[in-house]
Structure 1
């Protein structure tokens, strides 16, 4: 199981809830970011095993952040959203993310399924 996670989401409440849930499941959350740009910089600096990445960010969307991290040979990316995956265009499947977990279904085992 991957040990370290970076949470990138523009909602502080979700970041706090995700941190508590993932830490309770044995993950070590090494950082949080509120924007795509901050997330890219944090991933480069912190080198997490997994980035839990919101698709709808205020500056650079999660799809583009995933592409950039993939080009850099970065961590496993698991996308998340309060919306369903089918609400996103087809390129969602080809951005380099390992998978998608709806925010309401987030758990350590859901992350582990994609980050292995």
Structure 2
């Protein structure tokens, strides 16, 4: 699942990831849509933009963890800004990690999943890629 307030980015990211073999089960442009879709679709992972316009992707990452049932999706934070601009917030979050939007790829997602330390989120069930 991809959450971003830019329709252009949602489309581009979906096309890129699906072209690389990742099934994108849903896209959302705000927190309400993201929470609804995460609850209904049960994605294996959620890519969440840190800056969702008037909303906070960091807050959404926390809400996804607490409001989407017993097996919330791990969250990878994404942004067009450099990681160092948000470094302290990313470390303090419950997110699995961070990817710059320019580095987004199935390989980068799989690398983050493979490097999980096992104590932040519940394990991903099934193969990564939904």
Structure 1 residues 83-112: Cα deviation after superposition (integer angstroms, max 9, x where no partner): 011112623212111110000111001111
CA distance in 2 between counterparts of 1:19 and 1:9 reads 11
**What is the aligned-residue RMSD (CA, Å)?**
1.4
Contact 1:50–1:115 under 8 Å retained in 2: no
Q: Higher strand share goes to which structure?
A: 1
Contact 2:77–2:98 under 8 Å retained in 1: yes
The TM-score normalised by the length of structure 2 is: 0.79
Q: Match for residue 26 of structure 1?
A: 21
Out of 12, 17, 20, the position equivalent to 1:17 is 12
The TM-score normalised by the length of structure 1 is: 0.88
For structure 2, the residue ranges without an aligned partner over 5 or more in a row are: 115-130
Q: Match for residue 90 of structure 1?
A: 88
CA distance in 2 between counterparts of 1:67 and 1:86 reads 20
Q: Match for residue 55 of structure 2?
A: 60
Query: What secondary structure does 2:55 align onto?
Result: coil
Query: Could you tell which deviates more after superposition, 64-73 or 34-43?
Result: 64-73
For structure 1, the residue ranges without an aligned partner over 5 or more in a row are: 1-5
Moved over 4 A (4+): none
CA distance in 1 between counterparts of 2:93 and 2:39 reads 18
Please say which structure displays the higher CA radius of gyration.
2
Give yes or no for the alignment of 1:108 onto 2:123: no
Instruction: Give the number of equivalent residue pairs.
Output: 111
